[in-house]
């Protein structure tokens, strides 16, 4: 369950930042890059900040 939530949040952040970049300011693409870098880091280290946040909020595995 938690993995699905993490993926949904990451996907939402990416789509939202792309929309903001198109309609508000191109610099919102930096947020897209930040999310992508965090996904890459998570795949290498097997540590994800969003996992920790969701665990503290009481979301079960």
Q: pLDDT by residue for the chain (61 residues), tens digit each? A: 788 999 999 999 999 999 999 999 999 999 999 999 999 999 999 999 999 999 999 998 8
Residue 54: what pLDDT?
92
What's the pLDDT score for residue 57?
A: 94
* CA gap 24, 22 in Å, rounded: 6
- Rounded to whole angstroms, how far apart are CA atoms 3 and 11? 12
Tell me whether residue 52 is in a domain: yes
In a domain, 21, yes or no: yes
Averaged confidence pLDDT in the chain: 94
- Within-domain flag for 46: yes
For the chain, the domain total comes to 1
CB atoms under 10 Å from CB of 6, counted, come to 19
Range of the domain at 17: 2-56
pTM: 0.83
61 inside domain: no
Domain-located, residue 13: yes
């Amino acid at each position: 369950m938690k993995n699905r939530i993490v993926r949904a949040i990451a996907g939402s952040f990416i789509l939202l930042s792309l929309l903001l970049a198109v309609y508000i300011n191109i610099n919102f693409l930096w947020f897209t890059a930040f999310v992508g870098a965090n996904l890459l880091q998570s795949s290498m280290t097997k540590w994800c900040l969003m996992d920790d946040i969701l665990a503290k909020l009481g979301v079960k595995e």
